[in-house]
Amino acid sequence: MSQVTREQFLQQFQDGIDLYKEPMPKALEGTQALEQLREADLNHDLKLTGKVELEKAFVVVEKFDPKAHGQSFEGDNSPARAVYHALLDTRLPKKYDTDGAMAAQNRSTIICDSEGKIGIYIAPGYSDCVRACVVKHERVHQAEALAYDPNSTMCRDRPAGTQVHGQPGNRPGAEVRAAEVELKCLEAALKKKGSACKADVKKQIKKEEGYRDFWKKQLPKP
């Protein structure tokens, strides 16, 4: 059973809901749910944004779960499921998603794991000197993807190893954040690891600095 709490709902839809998405998900098109959601658009800007409007959207979805109690609803097996999952396709903008393609085996990334959750994949070839820092890099992406999709709905019915993509508008900032975490880990490793590791760590630092700087150039201009 997968309960969606009010807090998770607000987090998932923090960037807004597009009430006039084309094409509108079939589960919403022409339904009472869509009419009620559009009534929650208090400023008539054709989308739901901000806590007040999103709280109203939560109440609309919750009404479709007869067992809901005001703070959560069943996101998988109740009548609310269709409305909830349709709304997931109307989020503004999508930060993470999957198109069903399998992840390449030669690079570390985030994936759908064998339990249908958003997990991480670490490519082979990293030495023990740097592997823990690469893991920390991918954990940043995993944490951000799970904050966007706490129930890993994008991984439902996807095979293990399916690639989870950071969307273009979100990816530069996400990659810079993850690279900074890895670099901090590598700098600490350089001080703690024995001399046998120093060459590997320095090589990874140089590689990761280049990776971070590439994505910094892709950040939106202030």
Residue 31: the pLDDT is 81
Distance CA 36, CA 181 (A): 43
| Contact residues for 200 (Cβ-Cβ < 8 A; gap 6+) | 127, 129, 130
Residue 118: the pLDDT is 97
Question: What six digits make up the tokens of 176?
Answer: 């810079």
Say if residue 1's pLDDT is above 60.
no
Would you say the pTM of this structure is higher than 0.75?
no
Domain boundaries, the chain: 3-88, 96-216
Q: What pLDDT band is residue 28 in, cutting at 50, 70 and 90?
A: confident
Distance CA 143, CA 22 (A): 30
Q: Cα–chain-centroid distance for residue 60? A: 24
Task: Tell me 57's DSSP state.
Answer: H
Residue 12: the pLDDT is 87
Contact between 90 and 15 (Cβ < 8 Å): no
pLDDT tens-digit profile of 54-87?
999 999 999 988 888 889 998 777 788 888 888 8
Highest-confidence segment of 42-51, 83-92, 120-129: 120-129
Lowest mean pLDDT among 44-58, 78-92, 180-194: 78-92
Average pLDDT over residues 150-165: 92
Residue 153: the pLDDT is 84
Map tokens 């022409």 to a residue: 30
- Percent of the chain exceeding pLDDT 90 equals 59
Say if residue 193's pLDDT is above 80.
no
Residue 202: the pLDDT is 96
Residue 170: the pLDDT is 87
Residue 52: the pLDDT is 96
Map tokens 């997931």 to a residue: 88
- Please give the residue that has the higher pLDDT: either 7 or 206: 206
Mean predicted lDDT score pLDDT of the chain? 91
Task: Tell me 91's DSSP state.
Answer: B
pLDDT tens-digit profile of 97-145?
898 999 999 999 999 999 999 999 999 999 999 999 999 999 999 999 9
